[in-house]
């Protein structure tokens, strides 16, 4: 397994195979932010652990070359993180991303360019918000028969609030593309949360779907568990854990890491 550990905005550990070319560009008189560039040339799995104990900023670039596949797992813990992602996905290339965050004050911009025929991008993102968080995603379908699937799940506790902008673009002439956007935020406070699914579709042969919901678990979900002898607090804990663990395509060690993050709040 390829793995990188990043503390604040610097690489502390890395284990990378030949299928990945990594460039770390330190901030200098020309670049005000540390940058990490990944070139993916074959089917690879990559795990990135982020830890921050002070305000940090970082640019991440991923270029997945023709026919290659990137399976990416990201775990982020800490605070006051600003990150910009840029993905470039070539013909018949694929990105499958799973993210679990416990990082208060996160502000993230992710731009995905599906540049090649039958390129695809899938993301399953989970976050536990204890402070204000903002996430903006832009998926550009720049070639025909490209596909993107975004599943964003958030839990809002303490002083947390989550603002999510999901943007998908299919311009005229990019035929038979597919966009799916799904966002759900479970709130345990009175702070405002926002999900904005925005679709710009100019091609009649393409398909775009979106769904968004903000609120608590439904009475039916809670009643079902309580009717089987489970008390209210335990029912909420079980529903929360299930919500954060749902539809994750991860290894056993990654699943263990996710459960460890969740156990910080729901033991």
Report for 45-59, 141-155, 245-259: range of highest mean pLDDT: 141-155
Report the share of the chain in percent with pLDDT over 90.
Answer: 80
Using the predicted structure, report yes or no on whether residue 155 has a pLDDT greater than 90.
yes
Asked if the structure places residue 89 within a domain, the reply is yes
Q: What is the pLDDT of residues 12-69, one digit of tens each?
A: 999 999 899 999 988 765 667 899 999 999 999 999 999 988 888 899 999 999 999 9
Using the predicted structure, report yes or no on whether residue 267 has a pLDDT greater than 80.
no
Confidence of residue 113 (pLDDT cuts 50, 70, 90): very high
Asked if the structure places residue 261 within a domain, the reply is no
3-state secondary structure the chain: CEEEEEECCEEEEEECCCCEEEEEECCCCCCCCEEEEEEECCCEEEEEEEECCCCEEEEEEEEECCCCEEEEEEEEEEECEEEEEEEEECCCCEEEEEEEEEEECCEEEEEEEECCCCCEEEEEEEEEECCEEEEEEEEEECCCCCEEEEEEEEEECCCCEEEEEEEEEECCCCCCCEEEEEEEEEECCCCCCEEEEEEEECCCCCEEEEEEEEECCCHHHHHHHHCCCCCHHHHHHHHHHHHHHCCCCCCHHHHHHHHHHHHCCCC
Report field, pTM of the whole predicted structure over 0.75:
yes
What residues make up the domain containing 104? 2-217
Asked if the structure places residue 191 within a domain, the reply is yes
Asked if the structure places residue 249 within a domain, the reply is no
pLDDT score at 31: 65
Give the total number of structural domains in the chain. Answer: 1
Using the predicted structure, report yes or no on whether residue 135 has a pLDDT greater than 80.
yes
pLDDT score at 60: 96
Mean pLDDT of 116-126: 97
Q: What is the pLDDT of residues 255-264, one digit of tens each?
A: 998 998 898 8
Q: What is the pLDDT of residues 89-100, one digit of tens each?
A: 999 999 999 999
Asked if the structure places residue 132 within a domain, the reply is yes
Asked if the structure places residue 242 within a domain, the reply is no
Average pLDDT score over the chain: 93
Asked if the structure places residue 232 within a domain, the reply is no
Asked if the structure places residue 30 within a domain, the reply is yes
pLDDT score at 63: 98
pLDDT score at 122: 98
pLDDT score at 29: 58
């Amino acid at each position: 397994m390829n793995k990188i550990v990043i503390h604040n905005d610097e690489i502390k550990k890395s284990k990378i195979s030949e299928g990945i070319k990594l460039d770390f560009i330190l901030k200098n008189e020309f670049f005000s932010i540390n940058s990490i560039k990944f070139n993916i040339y074959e089917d690879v799995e990559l795990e990135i652990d982020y830890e921050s104990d002070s305000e940090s900023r970082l640019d991440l670039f991923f270029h997945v070359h023709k026919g290659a596949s990137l399976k990416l797992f990201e775990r982020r813990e800490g605070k006051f993180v600003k990150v910009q992602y840029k993905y470039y996905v070539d013909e018949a290339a694929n990105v499958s991303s799973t993210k679990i965050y416990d990082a208060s004050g996160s502000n993230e911009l992710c731009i995905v360019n599906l540049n090649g025929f039958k390129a695809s991008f899938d993301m399953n993102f989970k976050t536990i918000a204890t402070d204000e968080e903002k996430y903006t995603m832009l998926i550009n379908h720049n070639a025909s028969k490209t596909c993107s699937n975004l599943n964003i799940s958030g839990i809002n506790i303490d002083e947390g609030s989550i603002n999510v902008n999901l943007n998908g673009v299919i311009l005229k002439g990019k035929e038979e593309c597919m966009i799916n956007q799904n966002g759900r935020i479970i709130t345990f406070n009175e702070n405002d949360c926002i999900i904005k699914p925005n679709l710009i579709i100019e091609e009649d042969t393409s398909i775009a779907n979106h769904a968004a919901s903000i609120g608590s678990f439904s009475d039916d979900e809670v009643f079902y568990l309580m009717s089987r002898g489970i008390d209210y607090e335990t029912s909420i804990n079980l529903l929360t854990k299930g919500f954060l663990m749902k539809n994750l395509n991860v290894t056993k060690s990654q699943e263990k890491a996710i459960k460890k993050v969740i156990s910080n709040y729901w033991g």
